[in-house]
Structure 1
Amino acid sequence: MDNPAVLLLSEVYGTLKGGISAIYRRLGTILTNRVPDVWVSTAVLDATEDDKDEAKRDGVDLLLPTVHPGDDRTDPCLHWLTFDHRVKYPNLPSNVRSIVGHTNGTSRAACRIKQDRCPDARVVLFIDDIPEDTEQYKGDEEAIGIGKKEDSILKDAEQADVIFSVGDRTFDHFKNQFRAIPVNKRPRHMKFFPRPSKIFEDSDAEYTETETMVVLCIGRVAGVEKLKGFDLAVEALSIVAQKMRVKLRVRGVDKDDIQVTKAILEHCKSANLQITFLPFGTQKDICKDMLQSHLVLMPSRAEPFGLVGLEAIAVGVPVLISDKSGLADLIIKFARRYHNCIVETDTGGDEQRNVGNWARCIERVLRHCEAEFETAANMKRELLSTRYWEESERQFIDICKTGVRKEPGSSSKLRPGRHMHQTVDPGRLKRPRPVAADMSTMTTFSSLGREESGDRKAPREPGTSSQLNSPDRRMCQTSGPSSPKRPRLVAAGMNVKTSHNSLGYEEENEGRKETIEDLIKDNYVLLWKRLQVEKLIPYFIQKRLLDFPDKQVIMSNATTPGRAEALLQLLSDRATCTPEVFVEILKEGDHQNIVDELKKK
């Protein structure tokens, strides 16, 4: 198979377990729809017949492990993907360009498969957990291991090319943590806002008056009852059950897990409260649960994001979510006027205050349930109308279509845009390598952005013309360093067509119009040293070539050359600005001196 491929690694396909699998399913679907020439495969440990049918409908190649006769190791585990992938998954796509995994899950497998079988692939990792926040609620043993889990994520990040942190809360945490990674190993770090799956968006919950109200909690429960706040939910509903008929359904509990069910039932203080435990389910199961509920609770004491709460919002059922969640941040950011669904949850130890607060909020919603369904429908419509997820998905698609390079001695080359954490070190751009005339040497870039052809070269400092690294380019150089284009002397009688470039001098017309990338490359050192970016940005914004988030990212660089570097990289990558407009902006932005220097070349 010659088409470039993206390989996603997940334990399961599009089911409740882990949450990240639902994100993977969405990403695989948008890749197949928007980039049809990219082959999308998802390697999983196990899959149901429904999973296989869904993957087929999504256009995703589902890769299942091979189990050989006589091998008694039949219980799926991550070691199959990490250490036994050659045997368990012998038929990976032949031209894998990106391997996608997630920390504390398939991240090690992604790095190992790259090392063993796909050396030219880039590693893209998702982070959806903050161990420092969540592990303290999983018991003493887990709390002691917080430092090890945080360090494990940093180790994975060092080997990755791109990190997507799910939500503001996770992004902010690791933006700080990644400062401990050496600059030359630091990945490109980006924020990711997930979109609810189509099955939830296509559903519309409706209110029906019943004698008994159904409240739903969803999530993996074993070992995390306190983290997920199931004790708060049960104790709060015990109070409510004394005033009205209500039942609780808990989706995510194995019926045979007596220890978990006992731990939850211990918090039930009312004989009037009926609790029903349901096992892990597919998205179809969860959606049905939501449509049959009057209220969905997400009472977590620490929730880096909270995808299940977002899915409930997409269905249009009333929700109450903890303020200690990334989903609460999303609502404040994109649908602030619906903040009443956010419940203050004290993590300082005042449990009775928490229980009372949740009980009051639950009772309020259930007593005015019809009106709350109308509010939930409006919230769904307004939140989805913002299309808050589009920038995240565009960035992911760009990564899979193009490439990412880390430069030795500097941080990752970043395309300025929304929700990015960027540190740009100027002057680390490579120039083409001279090659002997009778040689044809291919210079490529590894996933870490280093040249791979013989000896590894140290980064160069500015001072001569340099080659800008466009993210989607592999370079094949068979001549010496490029030089600025100049008027060409032509012998009498030669019929060579010429044209005038943006600076007014003649150049040979080789069937290609000068691009902004040509202009920047040919004059990079001059522009890098002398551009006063703060004077030019207003004109780029006015001409719709930049937007305000671009400005914020560019100006976040501490030095003047660093800002110039970021601006030039952006203009080169997007290729929406013409050389003529660039020169016009230089003139308008009090850079006539640079225009004059360009004309002299």
Structure 2
Amino acid sequence: MLPDGVRPTVVVGHARFTGPMAKALADQSYPQATRLHFVHMHPDRIEWGKGDREDAARTAEQHTIQERELCETATRTIAVGPLLHEYALSKLTYGPRVADAVQVVPGFDAMPPVRRQRLGRALIMVLGRVHNENKGLALAAKAVGYAVNQLGHSEEDLELYLRGVRPGRGADVRRALLEWSGLPGLTTTIRNYTENPAAVLADLATISLVLMPSFEEDFGLVGWEALCAGVPVLISARSGLGTLIRASGLPDDLVARVVLDVRKDGAVDVPLWASHISRVLHNREAAFRTVEQVLAFMADRYTWAAAVEVVEDAVRGRQSPALPGNGG
């Protein structure tokens, strides 16, 4: 509870993690406060990729019901990115009593600069909760192996850097990576998952290329972090971030260098991703120039000031203007 005399005007809940607590706090102690509910995941998209789920269908339904109840009772629902906005409009915020969800996009204009790794061995990074099959770790490793075995690169000239392993699972993940890549001598660095942004920025300062080959990705903060830090990145089109970039108005030639299709067919996906990995390895300077162009374009259209305005409008009950290229 807050000190006596402190009466918040806004209570914020984050998905099913803090959403129930925010609702209870608003209902029981601050009934006059505006309650905002943020949607940041789509259970039917992500639960099937979690290998430790015995009944993904049941879990996804339970989480969807919980999200819908939180949206129905909130003052306003705010969804992160275009895919979650569509999900909230179609699955969570319908009926005469519920206000349509609004979309917020993280700004591309406020990431601290990082030192950029352009020389020496190329470090190729996969970042995130890699135990989730949806993250496409096998595709990343196979594409790196293809780039070496089929496209003429030397495994001595690159390293696969993995951040996002559960404690105690590093050895198993490393064995799987080497098997998938077909490169038993590939240099690999394994790091546990972290929520420390300073550790992620320190990683990005050493990286030549970040891969986000997700089969399903509600937004894609990994790709967003890499892009905002000015690091070359390949982003799955099956992500909210990829969808946003493709619809942003960015010139097609730049889109094609950062957003790649994922068909869930290794015979198609592996050569495609390997060819783009090869392109970056052949000319890292050009890859860094590309990401600078992409970042400049996105930072001009999606700012933190605009994101704050969306939240402020939700608090005040106003309708925010449509975001560029996605219909609102």
Category of TM-score, reference length = shorter chain: 0.7 to 0.9
User: Are residue 417 (structure 1) and residue 324 (structure 2) matched?
Assistant: no
Map 1:108-187 onto structure 2 (within 5 A): 108-139=20-51, 141-145=54-58, 146-178=60-92, 181-184=94-97, 186-187=98-99
Partners in 1 of 2:42 and 2:5 — Cα distance?
Answer: 33
What do you get for the CA RMSD once the two structures are aligned? 2.6
Alignment match, 2:244: 330
Distance change in 2, residues 1:92/1:98 (3 Å): farther
Q: Using the TM superposition, give the Cα deviation of residue 346 of structure 1 relative to its aligned residue in structure 2, in angstroms.
A: 0.4
Instruction: Answer yes or no: is the 8 Å Cα contact 2:117–2:206 preserved in 1.
Output: no
What residue in structure 1 maps to residue 182 of structure 2? 269
The one-letter code sitting in structure 2 at the alignment partner of 1:124 is: L
Structure 1 position 365 matched with structure 2 position 280? yes
What is the match of residue 38 of structure 1? none
Alpha-carbon distance between aligned partners in 2 of 1:92 and 1:241, rounded to the nearest angstrom:
65
- Give the aligned residue type for 1:240: A
CA apart distance, 1:99: 0.9
Residue 101 of structure 2 aligns to a residue in which SS? strand
Report how far residue 196 of structure 1 moved: 4.4
Q: Which moved more, 1:318-327 or 1:388-397?
A: 388-397
1:103-122: CA deviations, max 9, x gaps? 12111111111122222222
Distance 1:333 1:394 in 2: 21
Tell me if structure 2 keeps the 8 A contact 1:213–1:294. yes
Alignment of 1:95 onto 2:12: no
Shift of 1:300: 0.6
Does residue 391 (structure 1) correspond to residue 300 (structure 2)? The answer is no
- Whether 1:206 and 2:116 are equivalent positions in the alignment is yes
Counterpart-to-counterpart distance in 1, 2:47 and 2:4: 35
**Secondary structure in 2 matching 1:101:** strand
User: What is the distance in 1 between the residues matched to 2:3 and 2:163?
Assistant: 36
Q: CA deviation at 1:282?
A: 1.7
Q: Unaligned 5+ residue runs, structure 1?
A: 1-88, 405-414, 421-547, 554-601
Shift of 1:206: 3.5
Name the residue aligned to 2:270: 355
Matches within 5 A, 1:282-293: 282-293=196-207
Number of the residue aligned with 1:215: 124
- Give the number of aligned pairs: 315
> Residues 374 and 205 of structure 1: is their aligned pair in 2 closer, same or farther, counting only changes over 3 Å?
farther
- 1:227 equivalent to 2:128? Answer no
* AA partner of residue 116 (structure 2): E
In the TM superposition, residue 176 of structure 1 has moved relative to its aligned partner by 1.1
How far, CA to CA, are the matches of 1:229 and 1:169 in structure 2?
Answer: 19
1:23-54 residue CA offsets vs partner (Å, 9 max, x unmatched): xxxxxxxxxxxxxxxxxxxxxxxxxxxxxxxx
Amino acid at match of 2:273: W
Q: Output the amino acid matched with 2:119.
A: E
Displacement of 1:387 in angstroms is 3.8
Distance in 2 between residues matched to 1:377 and 1:92, nearest whole Å = 50
* SS of equivalent to 1:284: helix
Q: Contact 2:138–2:180 (CA<8 Å) still a contact in 1?
A: yes
Alignment TM-score, normalising by the size of structure 2: 0.86
Q: Write the distance in 1 (CA, Å) between the matches of 2:160 and 2:146.
A: 13
Paired position in structure 2 for 1:19: none
Find the counterpart in structure 2 of residue 105 from structure 1: 17
CA contact (8 A) 1:207 1:370 kept: no
Deviations for 1:268-322, whole angstroms, at most 9, x for unmatched residues?
4212322211121521211121121110111110111112211211111111000
**Of 295, 300, 306, which aligns to 2:214?**
300
Displacement of 1:343 after TM fit?
A: 1.1
The amino acid across from 1:299 in the alignment is P
Please list the CA deviations of residues 116-170 of structure 1 after superposition, one character each: whole Å capped at 9, or x if unmatched: 2222222111111111222222246353222222222111111211111111111
Question: 4+ residue stretches of structure 1 with deviation over 6 A?
Answer: none
CA contact (8 A) 1:312 1:319 kept: yes
8 Å Cα contact 1:252-1:281 kept in structure 2: no
Deviation at 1:389, TM superposition (A): 4.8
* CA pair 387-167 structure 1, distance change in 2 beyond 3 A: closer
Alpha carbons of structure 1 residues 417 and 122: separation in structure 2 relative to 1, 3 Å: closer
For residues 459-474 of structure 1, the aligned pairs below 5 Å read none
Report the CA distance between 1:249 and its aligned residue: 1.0
Aligned-pair CA distance for 1:345: 0.4
Rate the CA distance shift 1:152–1:419 in 2: closer, same or farther, 3 A.
farther
Q: Deviations over 1:448-502 (max 9, x none)?
A: xxxxxxxxxxxxxxxxxxxxxxxxxxxxxxxxxxxxxxxxxxxxxxxxxxxxxxx
Q: Deviations over 1:161-213 (max 9, x none)?
A: 1111111111112211136x4312x1341011112483x2x305535321x21
Provide Cα deviations, 1:377-428, integer angstroms capped at 9, x if missing partner. Answer: 222222212245543321212444x4x4xxxxxxxxxx333239xxxxxxxx
Give 3-state SS (helix, strand or coil) of 2:214's partner: coil
SS where residue 106 of structure 1 aligns? Answer: helix
Secondary structure, aligned partner of 2:231:
coil
